[in-house]
Structure 1
Amino acid sequence: MEIGKKLGGRYKIIRHIGSGGMANVYLGQDLILDRPVAIKVLRFDFRENKDALRRFQREALSATQLIHPNIVGVYDVDEEDGLQYIVMEFIDGTDLKKYIERQGQVAPDKAIHIMHQVLSAVALAHKNRIIHRDIKPQNILIDNQDRIKITDFGIAVALSETSITQTNTLLGSVHYLSPEQARGSMATSKSDIYALGVVLYELLSGSVPFDGESAVSIALKHFQEPMPSIRALHPEFPQSLENVILKATTKEPADRYQTCEEMMADLDSCLDPARAAEDIFTPVSMLSATKVLTPISTGNRDKEDSGKTIISKDPLVTEKANPASEQAVEMDTGKKKKEKKWKKWLPFLTVFLLLAGAGIVYSFFYSAEPDTISVPDVSNMDQATALKALTDAGLALGDISEEYSKDVAENLVIETHPKKGSSVVKDAKVDLVISLGEELYTVKDYAGETYESVMGELRSRGFIVERTQAFSSDVPEGSIISQSIEAGTEVKPSETTISFVVSEGTQSYLMRDLSGYTQKSVQDYASEYGLALSVTEAFSADVASGLVMSQSIASGSSFVYGAKLSIVLSKGPKEPAVITFAKSLTIPYKANSSVVESSSSASSSASSSNGSSSDAQSSATVRTNHIVIYIQDEDHPLTDIFREFNISSDEVVTLNFRILEGKTASYRVERDGEIILEEAGLTK
């Protein structure tokens, strides 16, 4: 796909960001809504593949039915020039597989936070009768704020379709394949739950539970080998956390969680201290009792074989006793011999049993222990009621002590010493432990502390901890901005929900393409995002004057609020420089010119009344040359007369020229209509 191409006249391709089995994914820009989008385009080699085309269209249909904050949203589905494409929500982050490879094993709290979002999304799909069938970390996206988005419903099929659709092809990644899928059976919602259990194992351990040299060997392990123990790798994990994995990944679907909601509820409480000593989970199918079956026989053989039983773990298995006749005779002969031996020893056995019985009677009557009383259960009783119960049982009240308890209300009995059900002699003293109620906890000021550490501490004390996200340029990412309960407040943890506003760090945005913007438009955009704007100018023969030529933050790149942005505005084409220079010429005089110039002057004056006189002065005739000068520069064309005059001797003339950079000047001098001087291509 060519970078810069527009699909549907609306979605501009920015860059390639990934490839899948049958499609390429590009980062695009929605030019109408001005937002980044992910565009999945069916590869050219699948354009004629009807199965691939149908699967691609099914992905679009499946995804548009699912609207959930943890499922990648689909904005548009269209076709252009034979290219099928889906426009989806763009997630600025990575997939969970790369996240695990980069982070290694994930802490239990964070793993639960991630899985809670995944389970919530898959639960919605199951409610819409859609099973994903390819749940794996590669199809789970995670952004920089640990927000989860599930994608690729390319092989998800509505349950209504699966009732009539079943092939021998194993779909999905073999590392997360359920045993029933590995056997070639139909995938169900329980198959998704199995894959979710494997994903949880990988989050906590940093690796998949089953691996091998081939897909077949891995698939065999899924339905033959038990799930590896996560506690063998990390003994610090509570058994209750491992039990979630074991129950989700049992070999038999019936033993798994019935729904994603059930798994989510178990996961949310698995770190509670009260569940720390939980027994290891054992599937119901492994607890089935061994059945003892009586063999089928008829006639006299019933008497002979009545003592024989057949032990079978399979209720469908039945075994018949069918010995050969010779063996039957031998067994019958042996039986008669044994009966004779027993008859021989029968008198001695009778005497022994009588003596033993007499001993037991004597021990009962003469060596009996004193009467004992079982300590009654007085837990959750007030002190007066508990005292009455002890007295009625023939016991006495011993010491009374007090302890805090979040499980037993104030002033009620927590336990007794000795414990309930213990055997004690009559009138023995029983100590009571009375509850002071739940110990109050003084809430601290958690602003600036890391949310993960605070959450772990408060949950261990019984708090319900919630969080919301907010951008902040002052508080580091993952740290607490504010809390719902004021510091110094005393609360009961088991009855308290505390909410935190957690920093997502400085908010980032995608830079717009400012090419062709005016300075005013750029200033408005910079004000919206608090950008520190600097403007310079440069000549351009391609960009009109006053419009943006270039920008320091590239279009489509991320920037944070308050970042520095520099732009270059066009000054239009560069004006050439004006050059001025002068040239001096000597114009020669020609004596025998035909041009005559006459000048005369006469003056007369009146004399006194005595007389009159007139002096006539004859005019002198002088021959001159008529000179005409033409010049060509930025201000004068060569066709116009620049200067015209007469000379009667050689004369020096200075011509001043004004030309643009890269241009030249010229001149021509005529004397009495004849060109006597000329020159072209003049420059400074």
Structure 2
Amino acid sequence: MITVGTIIDERYEIIGNVGSGGMANVYLAKDLILNREVAVKVLRFDFQDDQDAIRRFRREALAATELVHPNIVGVYDVGEENGMQYIVMEYVRGTDLKHYIHENPSIPLEKVVDIMGQILSAISLAHQHRIIHRDLKPQNILMDENGVAKITDFGIAIALSETSITQTNTLLGSVHYLSPEQARGGMATRQSDIYALGIILYEMLIGEVPFEGESAVSIALKHFQNDIPFVRDHNPAIPQPLENVVLHATAKEIADRYVSVDEMYADLRTSLNPERANEPRFVPTVMTDETRAITSLQPEAVSAAAEPPQTETAEAAAKKPPKKKKSRKKKMIIFAVLALAVIGAVFFLAQGREEIRVPDVTDMTRAEAIEVLEKAKLQVDPNIEEIASDEIEEGRIVKTDPAAKSMVKENARITLFVSIGSKNIKMKDYTGWNVDEAISDLVQQGFKSENIKTDEVYDESAERNTIVKQSIRENAEVSPEKSQITFSVSKGPESFVLEDMTGYSRSRVAAYLQSVGLTMVEGAAEHSETIAEGQLLYSVPGGGVSVQKGDTVTVVFSAGPKAPETTETSAPETSETTTPPTSDTKTTEPNDTPQ
């Protein structure tokens, strides 16, 4: 059991509880090595023996470590301790976008565009890495105290290999942001993420989601049956171009949506420009109101239960009177019900399929692996994933998802991960960096913390804890998995013991301090019965104290003994002037001055 004070992997000390999710608990911890706060995500105890949950948990780590972006929560470390799976992530102090929307019911449009632009930038990087998030929603977008958005929870981001019905069951928990194709049990695409982004933008503008219902199924039906409400009907002050971004992103048919998040961002960032004020409302072009039909999960299954729509020529269509909207709505409901019926049939049929152990195809060629998996009655996902590996030769299989030896249903889809060889990086010049910041940067690039060494050296020109030298030159290509690097870290100028200068003349003190690189500051002279006038009485710091070049030394010289106090008498003035000085008032004679 994890409690406050628990130390994970001898490094991460639990100092608080952040929250809980469906599969994992998140804790606030202190990194005892780098002395910083981190978030530690731990797979819940009741999932520790669930191989599917473990695979999903590891997928999250794999997906997030590939994505280094200011708007994606960083992953610092991944590990397992006593059967407990954990991920160490950047700790974002703030709230999530869902709470942010509730706390700010009227977000300024400029702020809406700014936040959505940050989110689109992050998802653009994920899509460039062939990673689809699949579960975008405000609860998975964190807002830090500076208003910076950071996306998290890539737990189902890498291509899912379970059957489509399993994907649907998994995603119904986020049904308010679910694309029509996902609601029908189809595979998610980049356009599925774009649909979810359009719903998030809608919610930021209006303060609520477009569809509500008594159950997840009823909400899913609305996603591929009902049109998205117009945001300008709720708030006419919203410019038409900004509403068009919502409509374009949430089009029912994939072909009507933005091709990429970059295209969506290009449209979004100019949506408040005055020159676009008279833009007409966006209308989908792929399907008209009269001919729109809902694509089913299994077209052949649907056609067995209902007659397919007949294709007609343009001339015949022109002569034919337009269909009534009531008829169109009825047809859409029929197709929706049939689609859900097919989903249910697939689910129940899947229960009776034989379970198969996934063969181990590690280090095989792609062709060899496909042959082995197909002989085992498994399907191979045509989208092959590429992954860096220091152990597996380029072009050969590193792993599969689901993993080798795990149990899956017959005809389950298997994703292959093919090696692209060692993932080398170009070494930066860390000279002048704070050593803790340099170590953190290397760890994020894949370096193992135990392979990063430090040596402390004295350096007169560099501040303490600053790197003055590194063992790997700048721009050298290295493998973060295998390489070791040593940093020479400044301890500041070398220290030495200050001489005892008591009794030194002023010129001798000045010459000594200059020779050892110390700065002399002279204080007011003080009287002394033992040190002759003009000689050093004391210094601050004093002799025997360790100092460093550049330090300041305050010196105080002797003003000689104090003059005696005179006593008034009735004797004539001449008697005082003729009285020779006594031995008590005698000052140091010249021949008594120390040399």
Length-normalised TM-score, structure 1: 0.42
Q: Which has the larger radius of gyration?
A: 1
Length-normalised TM-score, structure 2: 0.48
Higher percent of residues as helix: 2
- Where relative contact order (Cα < 8 A, 6+ residues apart) is larger, the structure is 2
